[in-house]
Each structure stands twice: as structure tokens, then as C-alpha cells.
A and B are shown apart, each in its own frame.
Chain A
Amino acid sequence: MGLRSHLSRARGALSSHLVSIRAAGIVEERTWRDLEDALLLADVGAKTTDELLSEARERFERNDEVDVEGLLGILKSVLIERLGVTDRSLATGGEPSVWLFVGVNGAGKTTTIGKVGSREVAAGLQVVFAAGDTFRAAAADQLATWADRVGSPLVRGAENADPSSVIFDAVEHAAARGADLVLADTAGRFHTKSNLMDELAKVRRVAEKGSGTVTETLLVIDATTGQNGLVQARQFAEVVEVTGIVLTKLDGSARGGIVVAVQEDIGIPVKLVGVGEGGDDLVEFDPVDFVDALFGVTAEI
């Protein structure tokens, strides 16, 4: 199943702005204001919205397009271009490969790991879960439930154990068994806490001390996140070389527009999208579907 079908529920909340934009039929000053509103309400951010619209306007005027549909098409292509044609595949190739999941508190890291595990096991990989969140109470139990569902081993440490050593052990465990992939959870942390960010850098280093290679470091961002998401992405990227974004909870009415700025300013592509709590509610990011959903454009299709 693709992103589009998963977003049907969210798309039900068709932006009223779009209704009025379409109802007018012609492009007038008001149309631009309505488009601006739609982008701002999707958390695209004031600066990025301005840039998107001025580029769309330039193209619109150059093309002598008059109708609203033409304009919407232009704006969508501006957005899709900005989201880029980046490679969104998840890298393997280590023996084992380690995928590290990082992010602020409550972004959905543990649930995402469960879903990724379910997906990769279904694809035929041998997966080991590493309960690297030793801080949050019962985080390891939560991951253990997922490991049971998927039927893969979980390596965990004591509460408040050093996360680096838990993940190191998991990598060694995976190497010994000839497993392909270690999915490593980490405790949620704010990018403003330098001691915790240092800890994360250490986790990243130690994960490669043994036989494993960190082939993906995925930053998990909640789709309801506002403008702070950009700051988060920048700080995490500085500390651990983030290779991709997982945008979670996109099944609500939130649109996750902050990832447009993240992709453009920091150059980190969105790779996966979380759209529910089930094991298969995780899909690959598709810029076209995402942009459509951003406006609620395809609601009637």
C-alpha cells in the first residue's frame, strides 16, 4: 500500500482554503493569500512559504496560465522539485548493518522501530532489536512486545544502563548469529541538552566499534511538529550525521509541512512515513502523494 491510500482519512479534512480557491475559478490576489494560508497551516513555515509562492508566482506569470488548476499544478511542481529526487532507499551492506533511530521525546521512535522491524523481517532480513532507550521507564518492555510480534531477538540492558554498551552488545549478538540488521532504539532527547547529545555521538561511535556498520541514522519527527522541527533536524544532523527522516503520525490532520524546510535547508530526505499504530502502517515517502496531501488536493479523486 502506498502513502496515498494511507492518507485517505487525513485527506478527508479537505482544506477549506482549497475549496474557496477552486470555487473562484480564476487567479486573483486573494488566491495567493489563500495559498499562503494553506501552506502556513500545513506548518511549512513563513520563510519557506514566501519562497515557494514567489517562485510559483514567477512561473505563473511567465506561463500566461490563467486558471486555478494550472496554478495549483505549478505550485505542486515547485514543491516536488524542492523535495528533490533524492535517493530514499535505506542502506544496508554492513555485517551487520546498524540503523540508529534518534529524536526528541515522544516523536515515535520505539513504535517506528517496531514497524521497520516488521517490514524488514517480512522482506527476509534477520533482524536484532537493541533496546538503547535505557532511560524512559518500560521503553525496553515496549520494544520487547514488538520483538515478540515480529519473532526477532531483543538485546536489552538494565534500567539506566549505558546505551552505548547495550547497542554494542546487540551488534555483537547479531554478528555472532549472522543477522543482517540491528535496529537500535535511543532515548528521546532534546537537541538543546548538550550532555545527552554528546551521549548520542558516543552511541554512534561505539555502534561501529565492533563488526557492525551504521548505514542509516534516522531522525524521527512527529508530523504535528511546528517550526521547532527545523532546529531539531539541524542539531541532530550536526551531532550524528542524520541520513534520513521518518515522519510519524501523518494519519492525523497534521500535514508535516516542516519537512519541506528540513529537506531544503539541511538536505536530509524524508525516507519513511508512519501512518498508524499497526505493524504495517509504515510506507515509503512519496513526494507527489505528500504534496497532494499537503493541500488536501486529491480528496475528491
Chain B
Amino acid sequence: MFESLSSRFEGVLKRVRGKGRLSAEDVEDFLGEFRLALLDADVHLAVVRTFQDRIRERAVGSEVSGALNPGQQVVKIVLEELTAVLGGETHRLSYASKPPTVVLLAGLQGAGKTTTAAKLARWFKTQGRNPMLIGADLQRPAAVEQLQTLAERIDVPVFSDPTDSVSVARAGLAEARRLGRDVVICDTAGRLAIDDDLMDELVGVAEVLEPHHTLLVVDAMVGQDAVKTAESFHARLGLDAVVLTKLDGDARGGAALSIKEVLGRPIAFASTGETLDDFELFHPDRLASRILGMGDVETLIERAEETFEQVEAEAAASRLLDGSFTLNDFLDQLKALRKMGPISDIMGMVPGMAHQMKGVEADVDERRIDRIEGIIHSMTPSERANPDVIDGSRRARIAAGSGTKPNEINQLVRQFREMRKMMKQMGGKSQGAKGRRKGRKTRGSRTTVGGSVPIDKKKGLSLPGLGDAEGAGSFPVDLGS
């Protein structure tokens, strides 16, 4: 039922194809589809309106002209506006110059605070810190036991006391100082923003702790109410950032986008699974893809970039284009592709493919690729460089060596020749394309939604280390959107 934006746009794109200029009506058609996609993804109504206005302003104006056809132009604007809000750098938590760095977690019931507390503690450990947990949720039965059980698994101490949450916070902080822990994470009871008594209590906890980072824990499945909730917590506590939980379901997480747009507070972490290490720094523009149903393109690109050896790839690319591409190069490409993971996974990350692959058990037969590798491995270096030398007896030897049939070798060689011929023709057409990186080819596909639209690659996606002991509570990243 949740169509991706690209499939929603398809119909409108088809209709406006070939038009020289878009009417205001055409633009409204796009905006209508855009609105539905965002609402289905739980983006807040007010935020949807803001987007629509910005896009309308740009699309109906003078920008619609130039190299792209008008339909593509609108798609480009839509993507640019979305990435402008969600994009930007991964948020980094700073450390207090005078430890411990105190992190306070707050949120509604069931958002995932206790699990997040433990996951966060584990994450700080991986950063070389010595965290301690404070269990100040004395409301929910066995919440402290839950925190203790999780903390045992990651070998992090927990402080709690069956008194009241403000006293627990005070005593917990003193205990952390005594033990010399450099990070303190305080779990609190879930509460409704409209519950004044409980909000007062939370403010009391915050006054005692003077947290450097107050994080709102938000469930990715939450609907239109998310913004109001975040605003209420922000008004009482002053939020610094958001932790988005339960992204391992299929909720689109549009509420998180809305919170960022309305409060101007970044999403610092995302929780993506049930085990304690399913927790990572949040990559804002990946959520844009998720909301629009574009596939997790950034992940794909990153994996590709990790895997492809750039120099090799460039050399292979130039050989590919001048026709001197060999079976060895082909084998390298196959291996690099497979290093990225199972073929079916990779397909799922390609925009538009996730949908097509649904239900179909990976059309790409991994075993077929095994056989191709086997065949090439059974060839001599000269055969790999020049398959034309393969005659009947060589073919029989290769078939025996790879456990295949001679006609499979014929087939491979034939396909390889055709591919090389085709590449050579392409190479002749686009001289400038020589030396293009393989990785960039993948990147090109990222920008394609219903047409070919280039958008700027967002920088700053690399996993950041942590900022040094900067001013406590300050965020080095632009907080506005």
C-alpha cells in the first residue's frame, strides 16, 4: 500500500513527457502525489505544507527550463528540497571538558528508552569511554531489572535506588564521580507530555543532573502526534537531539523528519534491531530515501566504495572502453561485486529494484556466478587475456577443470565478446567517459527517479569519530535546517 514516490510520480511523468513547459496544474499533480507519499510516511501535515509551498514556488517559476525536461525538473526540485531538510552532516555528541558527560533520556512510554540507554552505553564503550547507567524509571514495574540485565551483558555498572527519581539521579551522579566514570546515561520513566506532575518530576531530574545532552527517544512508527510531543518535551527540557528507535520495522519514520524540521534538532542515533549493537550514528539523508521509498542508496554506495579498489577499477574501466578488457578484469569485477554481499541484498538497495524484487526469490542465481568464476579460474593466463585462442582441446580441458560442459564455455566466451564489442562502441562515443570510476556508475543510479536527474552527493557521510573535549552541551553541527 505504500508506494514509493518514484512509482507515484510515474503517471504524472508520463503525461507531461514531451511538454516544453509545465502548467501550474501539472505542478499541482506532482504536489498531490508528493503530499500523499509524505502523509503515508507520517510526515507532519504542517511540514508537508511547507514542502509543497517551497516546491511550488520553485517549480512554477523560471527554473523550469533548460537541459532537463520539465517533469524531471520537478523531480529534481523535490529531491533537493527533501535532502536540504534531512541532509547535512551526521550529528556528533561532544564530551564535557570536565567529566562525566551526562546524557538524559526522555520520551513516551514504550518508545524504547531503557533499551536505548543500554545501547548507548555500549556505543560509548566502543568509543573507549567508561559509561555508567542510572535507572531512574521507578514507575514501570521491573524497568530497573530490565536495565540491570541489559547492563550486565555489556558489563556496565547501573545505579538505582527505590526512592524517587530525583534522589536516584542525584545519588547516581555522585556515584559516577566517585567511580570516575566519564559518561553517565540516565534512563527515565515514560511519560505523556500533557502529564504535568510527571513532567515536573522530569524537570527536577534534569536540574539535578544538568545534562550535557538531553535526548528525546522517538519510535519510528509514531504518527502525527510526534511533533506535538517533541514540542512539549522541548518546551520543558530543552532537547538537544533525537534518538530514533525501531527502524528495523518497515515504518518510514516521517515523524523524525518532521521533528527535525519543526524543532531544528538533529537525529543523533538510530536503533535498527533488537540486539545491543544494532545502534548507530544517524545518517540523515538515508531517511530521505526511506521516506520516499528510494532504497538505501547511500549504504549501497558506501559498500561499493569500500569494496572497489579505485585504481584497479579505473584501469579496468579504461581497458573496458578501449576494448582491451580481458576475462581477468571480468573476474575481478565479479569478485568485487560479490564482496558487497549477496546479490539479492544489493538488488534491494537499488532504487526501484526493492519493489521489483519483492516476493521474487533472487532472480540472480548465485550458483551461475560460481560456475562462471570456476570457468575463468580453469583458464590459463593467455586464455584469459585472449579467449580467441580457446580451441576444442582447450575447451575440453577447461570444462573438465571447472566441472562444466564445453558449451557453457562457448557461451561465456561469446557473451564476453559481445560485451567487449558493445563497450568499445560506447567508449568510442564518449571520449570523456574514459577513466570514470566504477563506483561512480553506481552513484549515477542513485540519482535516477523516473528519469535521470543529477543531484549533488551529500558530503559528510563518513562515520565521524568523536569531537574532542569541546564545550559541554554545545553542538558543533548546524542545528537549523
Contacts and interface: CB of A to CB of B under 8 A. Distances in A.
Given A224-B219, A254-B225, A145 B142 contact: yes
Given A224-B219, A227-B42, A230-B1, A42 B224 contact: yes
Contact of B110 (A12, A229, A249): A249
A141 B150 CA distance: 14
B149 interface: yes
Contacts of A138: 142-143, 145-146, 148-149
B473 to A, nearest CB: 29
Contacts of B192: 249, 251-253
Nearest to B248: A190
B249 interface: yes
B257 interface: no
Given A137-B149, A254-B223, A106 B39 contact: no
B246 A106 contact: yes
B221 interface: yes
Interface string A28-42: 000000000100111
B451 to A, nearest CB: 25
A229 B221 contact: yes
A40 B39 contact: yes
Nearest to A42: B224
What is the size category of the interface that chain B forms with chain A?
35 or more
A45 interface: yes
A137 B148 CA distance: 9
A226 to B, nearest CB: 3
A146 B222 contact: no
Interface residues of A, number: 52
B111 A46 contact: no
Interface string B70-112: 0000000000000000000000000000000000000011111
Interface string B238-253: 0000000110111110
B244 to A, nearest CB: 13
A228 B221 contact: yes
Given A40-B39, A141-B145, A105 B246 contact: yes
A115 to B, nearest CB: 12
Interface in A1-41: 9-10, 12-13, 37, 40-41
A54 interface: no
Contacts of A135: 274
Nearest to B249: A190
Contact of A252 (B1, B42, B193, B249): B193
Interface string B20-39: 00000000000000011001
Contacts, number: 147
B440 interface: no
A66 B21 CA distance: 42
A222 B225 contact: no
A192 B249 contact: yes
B226 interface: yes
Contacts of A258: 223
A142 B41 CA distance: 33
A231 B250 contact: yes
B333 to A, nearest CB: 33
A154 interface: no
Given A105-B112, A137-B149, A13 B194 contact: yes
A79 B293 CA distance: 31
Contacts of A249: 108-110, 192
B373 interface: no
Contact of A145 (B111, B141, B193, B251): B141
B223 A253 contact: no
Contacts of B109: 106, 108, 249, 277
A191 B193 CA distance: 28
B223 A226 contact: yes
Given A192-B250, A249-B108, A45 B40 contact: yes
Given A46-B39, A228-B42, A252-B194, A142 B141 contact: yes
Nearest to B232: A253
Given A137-B145, A252-B108, A224 B250 contact: no
A266 to B, nearest CB: 12
A273 B287 CA distance: 32
Contacts of A146: 141
A43 interface: yes
Give the most central of A191, A226, A228, A230: most B CB within 10 Å: A226
Query: Which 3 A-B pairs give the minimum distances between C-beta atoms?
Result: A226-B223, A106-B110, A226-B42
11 contacts: A9-B194, A37-B45, A138-B142, A190-B250, A226-B221, A226-B254, A227-B39, A227-B252, A228-B42, A251-B192, A277-B140
Given A106-B245, A137-B146, A226-B254, 16 more contacts: A10-B194, A37-B45, A41-B224, A105-B112, A106-B109, A138-B142, A142-B140, A142-B142, A159-B149, A224-B229, A226-B221, A226-B224, A227-B252, A230-B1, A232-B221, A249-B109
